[in-house]
Structure 1
Amino acid sequence: MASGLIALLDDIAGIAKLAASSLDDVAGAAGKASSKAAGVVIDDAAVTPRYVVGLTPDRELPIIWKIALGSLRNKLLFLLPAAIAISAFIPWALTPLLMLGGAFLCFEAAEKLLEKLQGPSGHPIEELAANPDPKALEDRQVSGAIRTDFILSGEIMAIALSTVADVPLWEQALVLLAVSLFITAGVYGVVALIVKMDDIGLHMARDGGNGIGPVIGRGLVQTMPVLMQALSVIGTAAMLWVGGGIIVHGLEEFHLGAIPEGLHHAAVAAGHATGPLAPVTEWIVNAVGSGIIGLIVGGIIAFVVHKIKR
C-alpha cells in the first residue's frame, strides 16, 4: 500500500515537473515571439493615442479601455483560432500570409511618409468637433481604433506563430494566448500612460513650490509633443524594418535568394570592416537594408493604389 502511494506521488511529481518544464518552454517562446513582433507593437502604441485627440480628459482612459477590450477580442475570438487552423491544416500558407502582412506594413509606412510630405488631409480635432453627439463621437473613434488594431494584431499573431511553428498545436495555442494577453496589456498600458502624461505633468506643475516636482511636471508637459512626434517616427521606421525583414525572409523561404544573399554579404562585409563592433554593424546594416526594401515595396504599392483611386 505504502509503495503504491509512493509510486503515485512519484508519478505526480514527474507530471508536475513536466508541466513546469512545458510552462517554461511556453514562457520562453512567448517572450521570443513578442520580441520578434516588437516593431509592430511599437507602431500599435504609436498609432492608438491619436484616437483620443480632442476628447475630454475624463473620457480618455474609458475609451482606451474599450479599445483594449476590442483588441483582446480580436486576438482571442478571431485571430488566435484562425492562426491555429492555418497551422493545423495549411501550414504552407503561413509564409505567404506573413509576406502579405509585411507588404501591408510597408504600404502603411509609405502612406505615412507620403502624408508627411503632402500634409495631413484633415485635423482630428476639427473632425471631432464637427460631430455634436459625444456618444457617437466616441463610438466612431473606438470602432476606428479597433479596425486598425485588427490589422496590426493579425501581423503580431502571424509573426508569433512563425516562431513556434515547429511545436505541438496545444503549445502554439498557449504561446499565442500568452502573447495576446502580454502585448495587449503592455501596449494599452503604455498608451494610457502616454495619453495621461501631460495631465500628470500639469498636476505636478500646479502644485507650486520650488521643489523638483513642479520642475518635472513642466518638463513632462513640454516633452509630450516631442515624445508623440518621436513615437510616430519610430513607429514608421519600425514598420519599414519589420515589413521589409519579413519580405526578405519570405524570399529566402521561396529560394529567391538574390536580395537576401546580397543583404547578408553587405552586412558581413561591413562587420569585417568594423572589427570588434561587427555584430552591431551587421545588425544595423541588415535593419537598414530591410527598411530600404520595405520602403521600395511600400512605395510601389502606394503608387499603384493611388493610381487605381484616380
Structure 2
Amino acid sequence: MLAALMWQNIVTVPYGHLGFLKDRTAGWQDTPLSAGTHWLWTGFVPEKWKLFLLKKQEPPLRIKIKLPLRYTKLLKLGDDYYTKIRFDCRYKISPSHFPLLLETVQYDPEKIREIFIERLKILIELKYYEIYQNDFMLDNLAVRLRQYLGNETNSPLLQDYQKNFPDNDITFQKIYGVKIYVPDAGLYRARTADLTPVLLAQRQSLVKQIEADAKAYQIRILGQAEMQKASKMKDLIDQNPKILEYYKIEKMNPKADVWILSEGTSTKTFTLPSHKKKKLKIIEKPGGALSPITR
C-alpha cells in the first residue's frame, strides 16, 4: 500500500522535454520540471497532479495551401488551375505561454500546432490576393510569392506573423523546403478567352434564384396574412361562439350578410376580417334554425 502511494508521487519527464504540472485545485506550478524523475507530495489526494510535456524542439510545421485563380471555380477547372504552396517551418513554443495555450485548446497539445498553421495560412492567403489582383500578374506570381515566404535567414511572412500576432507565444527559427506551383499562364488564358456563354449562364442562374427567393417571400407573407386573419377570427369567436356558424354559411353563400340566430333577443354587430370589409348583423330570436337573409 505504501509502495503504491509512493509510486503515485513519482513523475518522469523524458529527455528533451519540459514538464508542466497542474494542481487539480491550486492550478499551474510556477516552475516547469526538467528532464528526469521527480517526487511530488500529493497529500494523499488522488490524481492531485496532471503532467503536460513540452518538447524543447518541436517537429517542424508542414504548411500546405491551395488557392484558386480568378475563374478556376467559376469554370470548374481541374486541380492544375490552382496555385499550390508548400514549405516547412521550424519553431519553438515559449515555456511561459505554454500553460495558457493548453487551456486555449482544452489541453490538447496537438491543436496548438493547428493554431499556428491556420494563422500562417491566413497571412499567405491575404498576401496572395494582394499580389494577384488580375490575370496579368500571373507571370510574376511565383516570384512574388517566393519573395514573401523568404528564406532561412529572412522571411517577410514570419515578420508579418509577429506584427499581427504579437503574443510572443512562439519563436520562428526558419522557413525551408519551399515549393510553389502556379498554373501555366498561357493555358489559363486560353481556357478563359471566351467567358460570354459562362457568364450568361451564371446570370440566368442568378435571375432564377432571385425569382425563386421572391416567390418564397411572397408565400411567406401570404401565410403571415392568413395567420393574422385566423387570429382575428378567433377573437370574434371568443366574443360570440355562434359567429363560427356564420363563417361556415358564408363560405357556402357569400351573398348572405344577415343571419337570424336561434337563441336570445339581442342584436349585435361584428366586423369580419375579410377583403369585403362587410359588417354583420346578428339577430338572435327564440326558436328556429340559423338561416341567411340575402339582400
Range of TM-score over shorter length: under 0.3
* Structure possessing the higher relative contact order (Cα contacts under 8 Å, 6 or more residues apart): 1
Please identify which structure carries the higher strand content.
2
Please identify which structure carries the higher helix content.
1
Q: Could you tell me the TM-score, scaled by structure 1's length?
A: 0.23
